[in-house]
Amino acid sequence: MNLTFGCRKSTSGFVGEYRGTYKATGRSMKPAFAGVYRVRAGRIVSFHQYTDTVKIAEATQPLA
């Protein structure tokens, strides 16, 4: 997995790329992702992750 991380005040973010193979179809995938953490008083108060779900869905579809 490739990963890049950055931080500014109470917000931290990262971007990367998952890699895997969907067992049922044997198709590989490399969807990109990004995530954002927000911290207040030393605690994580929110987390959002964004993923290229089209790449995952394509890997789950049988070959035509």
Query: Domain coordinates of the chain in residue numbers?
Result: 2-60
Confidence label for 4 from pLDDT (cuts 50, 70 and 90): confident
Per-residue model confidence as pLDDT tens digits over 10-63: 999 999 999 999 999 999 999 999 999 999 988 999 999 999 999 999 999 987
CATH class of 2-60: alpha beta
pLDDT at 2 over 80: no
Q: What is the DSSP string of 6-49?
A: EEETTEEEEEEE--EEETTTTEEE--EEEEEEEEETTEEEEEEE
Q: What is the pLDDT of residue 60?
A: 95
Q: What is the pLDDT of residue 3?
A: 66
The answer to whether residues 28 and 21 touch, using CB atoms and an 8 Å cutoff, is: yes
Q: How much is the CA Rg of the chain, to the nearest whole Å?
A: 15
